[in-house]
Structure 1
């Protein structure tokens, strides 16, 4: 163990985090923040979480790190860059291709980030015997974005995502809760100013106001979390987006400072997912879907929800060459897929 005052450990942790591939690191207190809790309660109260029942069910644990783990004293908030080298909006006018969110074109970030979080946590435990830690990557009631702001690594922009002045919006976030009482950073100052590029770029008007997101209208929610049919009024607005949406992130001016060179190799896009053709995706059966998306976060939504999304994109494409494939899917065993195919046929045959 290195003998050093506890106050010196913040810089040591930041140095080690960078060595493990993290682009941003900061310390936040583990106690409850009244403003953060109030905003969570308002969001849930307005029903803006949609069908994500777990957000409401575990709200008490989500309000503060100590609500989840009372022994926690500090949070090490971390960000790992996945800044793309290509334009995320490049396929906007290519309806024969499907658009997959940048974050899902490489390996599953849950596995990549968690592996490095664990390595950092093991180092800390070895250096400071008696320290206890817990690591989290988007699979527990942890408010990573507000904690990232409290830790000084960025601020929650008007699109509600974390924005770093050095790395833009392209950060995967993770957290290490620890029993160490570390010196917390100053919360990051909001630097959105009068800009509203992200709000104006949203195809579905999912922002009822700056800094507020109605997930029920968000394309990322609709294509990933929402299990049933998407409201018919929203389907045309999905365009050719079949998994997630990058529009509000891609137009953020702060992304001009983000460098693709900082991204981890595992996050580099797989060639077959950068501009996949809708016709090829519509042909996937369950085995083909699982094979194509092995090791990808896309795999978790399953073949049926994925094909539903592809059918909405087909209906929006205007490509009559897809009619035979869409027609075949109108008899799919999954009723949501079958209904999506019938809707797409109506669009293509109109």
Structure 2
């Protein structure tokens, strides 16, 4: 491959696809040629890249001729169907869906943690982790290196943009509907026809339900932190009990974590470790009411960690709060970073 690359973005018109284009542009990725791919209904639309209009093409099996790197963010079904066509045409695929994450022949990568895994791509595919997992591991992995993590108990507070553009529109519509009716704080339940994307109203609510339920009572989303965390950290004994909650926030996920380590940990030691971690800002001064906020990390590359304290229920335990933009570090940015490594 030459110094410049022919890059394809699959799912270019979606929320993550749009962010992928921004990341490629802002990070000066050496794009020599850009192909934007989406469904037939989006074909013909134009999108801006470095000030130029680029026409979106329909995703077809033969759309990858000459492509060096294909960034996929169009759902697992699309990835399973079209990633083989991309690799057969000679492209390396960076996939943002769950389609290949647990495939033993596909590295699952957070570049700050395990970029070395990209040296071996037997299928020509690298996978992006789940957004909540990626954000959490930005703080957990440096602590694991220093103290040896055994298990975590975590609760996520996940923005609606993690579901997609329709969820963003639904939250906005529900808020506007409530405000236009001039209702009071104790009259927030909306009509059933205002609820379409989620099983319940999301405005003014918190839904302990992200992804589908398993026989265990956990959801698929909740098990990803344990399963994907083991693979990314090369830590087969890692355990995670997680509750994932969808909250009425437009952008950026937050996670409350209680972690138990093999070795004793102090807040000062943990803070020193985290201060050196790449891609992570320490925002931790409760006396000044400074801690990570979804509003503050939205649109930013770095995640932020704070509320550091010894866990009062776990041996060698540390509790912390981490927030990150799930459209960026949880998806588009991480994918572009993988492409940079490749």
Normalization by structure 1: what TM-score?
0.24
Give the TM-score of the pair, scaled to structure 2: 0.24
Higher relative contact order (CA 8 A, sep 6+): 1
Higher share in strand = 2
Higher helix fraction: Structure 1 or Structure 2? 1
